[in-house]
């Protein structure tokens, strides 16, 4: 017998859920939480339950229409539940076709291969410069001129290299949209030739070698936090990256082996490298160990080696650069520049280039050699790091005599 709307309306929940049938397989399941339109069917021998919605939001008449459509699909050999999910996906994709939505989807697909720092930089380009201009535009309607206008505004701000990076990212998003069927073509293709010439590569600044003695003496008399003075000298002695130093914890120091093991999670590179568990090893010179013992008196009882004024937080990214500026070297030396300074002097003094590159934690450009050369060259690097420390301290007037250069 067919169900009536009055029966559906007057149905009250009981101790247990029960069904009111409509005679064609459609039924209203009455529960304490509400009334639900359902149909039990079999597809390829498997029992399934199709849901049509909640009464009275879905009326009896509408439920019957939905039910008939589902029965017709089964008769045609189509699973109505799968068809329903497919339509929901299509509806979602049709709504998420703005440039911003597609760009977010593209970035999410790339995250596993990006370092955290690179991901932050890419996100910043989109949120600061790209999305405010074309983010709300349907990607299928985005024109080459609109993209070029976005980059022109960046050029007007003097952003130089960032303009090329932004255009490259926009192009990848447009290509992703074309491949996924949400745009007919890549609207950014070929636009790079209309940009201003790329600015010359900027190298991290570092001082002339003749300035080293004066510089070290000025750092020794630095009047700020002792952590900042020690951080500046250690980053010069060990030439690690700023982020690796700032995140350092006391558990990374092996006093007995006289090495500093920087965890893979703190290293620059892809998430694959970070997940590898391979630390970057820094052999510690006598001078570095003395500085660490001094630092231990200030932060030894805390997890972070370079804790700032705020308890539980490391010194900021610009702490060392500010210290350099305060002693008059802001224009001549940057934190990252210590790496270039060390590389230049060590190469000039005949140290093995592979050992230097290994100490800088640079990835070998030769993929074959990178796959098979797992040597750490620790013995060479230990000698090299002590020579480097003696060299620096001799420039400052220390009575420590540098070791004879260990040539390759």
* Catalytic residue IDs: 241, 271, 336, 339, 362, 372
Nearest to 102 by CA among 115, 93, 111, 110: 93
Surface-to-core class of residue 340, CB atoms within 10 Å of its CB (0-12 exposed, 13-18 middle, 19+ buried): middle
CA distance 9 to 141: 48
How many CB atoms neighbour CB 165 within 10 A?
Answer: 16
For β-strands 253-254 and 259-262, DSSP reports them as: antiparallel
How far apart are the two ends of the chain, measured CA to CA in Å?
96
d(C-alpha 225, C-alpha 244), whole Å: 19
Query: What string of DSSP letters covers 84-141?
Result: HHHHHHHHHHHHS-BHHHHHHHHHHHHGGGS-HHHHHHHHHHIIIIIHHHHTTSBGGG
**Vertex 132 angle, CA 131 and 133, to 5°:** 90
Tokens 């004879």 -> residue: 404
Would you state the torsion angle of the CA atoms of residues 234, 240, 241, 245, taken in this order, to the nearest 10 degrees? Answer: -50
**263, 244 Cβ separation under 8 angstroms:** no
């Amino acid at each position: 017998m067919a169900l009536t709307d009055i029966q559906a309306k007057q149905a009250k929940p009981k101790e247990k859920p029960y069904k009111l049938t409509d005679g064609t397989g459609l039924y209203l399941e009455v529960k304490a939480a509400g009334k639900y339109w359902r149909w039990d069917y079999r597809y390829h021998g498997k029992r399934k339950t199709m849901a049509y919605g909640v009464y009275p939001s879905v009326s009896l008449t509408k439920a019957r229409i939905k039910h008939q459509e589902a029965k017709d699909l089964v008769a045609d050999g189509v699973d109505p539940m799968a068809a329903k999910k497919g339509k929901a996906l299509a509806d979602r994709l049709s709504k998420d076709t703005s440039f911003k939505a597609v760009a977010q989807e593209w970035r999410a697909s790339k995250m596993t291969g990006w370092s955290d720092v690179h991901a932050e930089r890419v996100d910043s380009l989109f949120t600061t410069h790209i999305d405010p201009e074309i983010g709300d535009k349907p990607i299928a309607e985005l024109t080459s001129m609109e993209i070029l206008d976005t980059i022109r505004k960046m050029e007007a701000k003097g952003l130089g290299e960032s303009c090329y990076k932004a255009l490259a990212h926009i192009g990848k998003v447009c290509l992703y949209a074309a491949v996924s069927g949400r745009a007919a073509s890549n609207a950014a293709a070929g636009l790079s030739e209309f940009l201003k010439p790329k600015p010359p590569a900027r190298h991290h600044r570092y001082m002339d070698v003749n300035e080293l003695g004066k510089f070290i003496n000025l750092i020794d008399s630095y009047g700020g936090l002792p952590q900042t003075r020690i951080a500046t000298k250690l980053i010069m002695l060990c030439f690690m990256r700023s982020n690796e130093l700032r995140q350092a914890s006391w558990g990374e120091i092996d006093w007995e082996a006289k090495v500093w093991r920087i965890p893979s999670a703190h290293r620059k590179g892809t998430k694959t490298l970070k997940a590898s568990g391979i630390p970057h090893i820094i052999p510690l010179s006598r001078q570095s160990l003395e500085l660490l013992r001094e630092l231990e008196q200030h932060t030894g009882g805390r997890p972070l080696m370079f804790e700032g004024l705020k308890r539980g937080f490391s010194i900021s990214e610009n702490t060392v650069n500010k210290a350099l500026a305060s002693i008059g070297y802001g224009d001549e030396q940057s934190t990252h520049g210590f790496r270039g300074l060390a590389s230049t002097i060590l190469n000039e003094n005949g140290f093995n280039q592979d050992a230097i590159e290994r100490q800088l934690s640079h990835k070998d450009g030769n993929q074959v050699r990178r796959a098979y050369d797992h040597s750490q060259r620790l013995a060479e690097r230990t000698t090299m790091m002590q020579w480097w420390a003696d060299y620096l301290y001799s420039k400052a007037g220390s009575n420590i005599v540098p070791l004879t250069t260990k040539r390759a």
